[in-house]
Amino acid sequence: MLNLAVILRESAEARPAAPALIHNGATMTYAELDARSDAVAEGLRARGIHPGDRVALQLPNVPDFPVAYYGILKAGAVVVPLNVLLRAPEVAYQLADSGTRLLITWAGTLADAAKAAAECGLTEVYVAGPAEDPVHPFTDLMAPVTEPVTLYETEPGDTAAIVYTSGTTGRPKGAELTHFQLYMNADIPGRLFTIDPDDVILTVLPLFHVFGMSSAMNIGIRFGACLSLVSRFVPQQVLATIERDRATIFDGVPTMFGALLACPELDRYDTSSLRVCVSGGDSIAATVLDAFEQRFGVPILEGYGMTETASTITFNEGPDERRVYSVGRPVWGVQVQVWDEEDRPLPPGRDHVGELVTRGYHTMRGYHGKPEATAEAFRHGWFHTGDLGYADEDGYLFIVDRKKELVIRGGYNVYPREIEEVLHRHPAVAQAAVVGVPDARLGQEVKAFLVTRPGSDPSADEIIAYCRERLAAYKYPRLVEFRDDLPLSGAGKVLKKLLT
């Protein structure tokens, strides 16, 4: 039996009065977090949620997220974390695809969530946060408890969470992450970070994303550390929170480090409590890494992971063992190889770039309801990441490119095909191609190249507004260029490398 929620129960029993969460200056102890998640577990059971049922969780970084997350797990149900930026059609797809039976959402996302739930025929919707007369407040889901609830006895290979990630087709796929996989991805990386109960982890990475969920929240709870929750990345707010809560660890994506460096009020804040920073989600520019380490006086340790691997695949183990500009070496129990286009291992060396493949405890159970996609991803028993890189003679890995069409905007993965499908539904659009273009602040910006239908003359603003209504805020294109035609290959495919 291994229910992931055991990490909370053990920390609560070891240090009940210790702070587990800080949000806007208010503290929740481990005993309180354990008890409140117990109340959620009892409430779910009282409402007919059975082990294995899906419960969707659409919340920003507020205390209600871990309260609900561990409560769902304690009941033996499966967490389906949803991005708070998704619009109604996107939410509806993920609710229906996962088979969600109950949704916990945030007041700020209620409008789209309610539309999505109605489309799916989902009536069990609970709302956290300050809402105007919500039908079902989140507090109504909590049942009274007088003693710690018994954790449902899940098997290590049972699904704990279904986290959606788009593939190269742009259609979201639900990666089934197991209790054992998530436990190990909290335990092993946490030991590498040397996390201890005195640490305060500045948690601004979204908890609905696997990086924040696994590499911040689960790691922190596993080792009894304190999570300092920040709901939205604003440089001044992050810096002020580091100073107020004496944060020792900051996990971020490269654009966050650049934004903190560029903050005009940086010198006003005391960040001397930081002892280490962790960067993931994309390769960090060498200039940003060097400048940040010099200015803040702490190392940035890079790692590499994916949703399908519950975050960590490789990591630089510490300031003395790291290889700057690499994403480190495989963590304990994980194997990584570099394969050519014929699925043959390549030798180490900068001249031997290929696809990174991996296997170990860290890989997902599979894509929910998609056996063909799962089989393709696990060819020859190895998970194919779709990312290109090489290894040096000492086993350190270097990422040189991402999936061919992937755009990483401010740390969020944006898949052009999904946007192109929306654009093609516009009556004035005959052809559409979406690419990422360099952006000094976000790393990449989304740009759409369009060929319009005869007699149509839409404006760029009209196209952008059309997409904004149908896509999450981080996905829709900010740049639109109209062309008479798009460059095509002999096979009729758009040559995106010619579009800039």
Structure confidence at residue 54 (pLDDT): 98
- For tokens 């109209």, the residue is 482
CB distance 477 to 464 below 8 Å:
yes
Question: How many Cα atoms within 13 Å fall on the side-chain side of residue 280?
Answer: 24
- Edge-first strand listing for the sheet containing 429-439: 429-439, 443-452, 479-482
* Residues near 38 by beta carbon (within 8 Å), at least 6 away in sequence: 71, 74, 145, 148, 149
Q: How far is CA 176 from the centre of its chain?
A: 14
Instruction: At 37, give phi and psi (nearest 5°).
Output: -70, -30
Which among 410, 448, 414 has a CA at the least distance from the CA of 431? 448
Structure confidence at residue 493 (pLDDT): 55
**Containing H/E element for 190?**
helix 179-193
Q: Say how many C-beta atoms besides its own lie within 10 A of residue 73's C-beta.
A: 28
CB distance 223 to 197 below 8 Å:
yes
6-384 is classed in which CATH architecture? 3-Layer(aba) Sandwich (3.40)
Beta strands in 53-99 (DSSP E): 54-58, 78-81
Question: Long-range contact list for 43-50, CB < 8 A, 24+ apart?
Answer: 43/71, 43/140, 43/141, 43/142, 43/143, 44/71, 44/72, 44/75, 44/77, 44/102, 44/141, 45/75, 45/143, 46/143, 47/102, 47/124, 47/141, 49/75, 49/77, 49/101, 49/102, 50/76, 50/77
Which among 208, 267, 207 has a CA at the least distance from the CA of 239? 267
Q: Say how many C-beta atoms besides its own lie within 10 A of residue 49's C-beta.
A: 21
Instruction: List the chain pLDDT tens, one digit each, 500 residues.
Output: 789 999 999 999 999 999 999 999 999 999 999 999 999 999 999 999 999 999 999 999 999 999 999 999 999 999 999 999 899 999 999 999 999 999 999 999 999 999 999 999 999 999 999 877 667 999 999 999 989 999 999 999 999 999 998 544 457 899 999 999 999 999 999 998 889 999 999 999 999 999 999 999 999 999 999 999 999 999 999 999 999 999 999 999 887 898 899 899 999 999 999 999 999 877 777 778 888 999 999 999 999 999 999 989 999 887 777 888 899 999 999 999 999 989 999 999 989 988 999 999 999 999 999 999 999 999 999 999 988 889 999 999 998 766 567 788 998 878 787 888 789 889 999 888 899 999 989 999 999 999 898 899 999 999 999 999 999 999 999 999 999 988 864 334 577 878 87
Instruction: At 376, give phi and psi (nearest 5°).
Output: -65, -40
CB distance 170 to 417 below 8 Å:
yes
Structure confidence at residue 457 (pLDDT): 92
- 96 CB-contact burial (10 Å; exposed 0-12 / middle 13-18 / buried 19+): middle
Helix and strand element counts for the chain (H, E) = 14, 25
**For the chain, where do the domains classified as CATH 3.30.300.30 start and end?**
407-498
Instruction: At 296, give phi and psi (nearest 5°).
Output: -95, -15
DSSP string over 199-268: -EEEE-S-TTSHHHIIIIIIHHHHTT-EEEE-SS--HHHHHHHHHHHT--EEEE-HHHHHHHHH-TTGGG
CB distance 372 to 379 below 8 Å:
no
Q: What is the largest CA-CA distance in the chain?
A: 71
Structure confidence at residue 414 (pLDDT): 84
Q: Give the 3-state DSSP-derived string for 394-445, with helices as H, strands as E and coil as C.
A: CCCEEEEECCCCCEEECCEEECHHHHHHHHHCCCCEEEEEEEEEEECCCEEE
Instruction: At 384, give phi and psi (nearest 5°).
Output: -95, 115
Check residue 143 and report its DSSP letter: P
Q: Give the three-class secondary structure for 72.
A: helix
Question: Long-range contact list for 455-459, CB < 8 A, 24+ apart?
Answer: 456/427, 456/428, 457/428, 458/426, 458/428, 458/429
Structure confidence at residue 403 (pLDDT): 58
CB distance 399 to 327 below 8 Å:
yes
Which among 211, 204, 381, 401 has a CA at the least distance from the CA of 309? 211
Say which amino acid occupies 90. Answer: E
Beta bridge partners of 409: 412
Beta bridge partners of 172: 166
Question: How many Cα atoms within 13 Å fall on the side-chain side of residue 218?
Answer: 31
Structure confidence at residue 338 (pLDDT): 97
Structure confidence at residue 401 (pLDDT): 62
Instruction: Could you please state the CATH topology (level 3) that the domain comprising 407-498 is classified under.
Output: GMP Synthetase; Chain A, domain 3 (3.30.300)
**For the chain, where do the domains classified as CATH 3.40.50.12780 start and end?**
6-384
**Containing H/E element for 128?**
strand 125-128
| Interatomic CA distance for residues 387 and 272, integer angstroms | 36
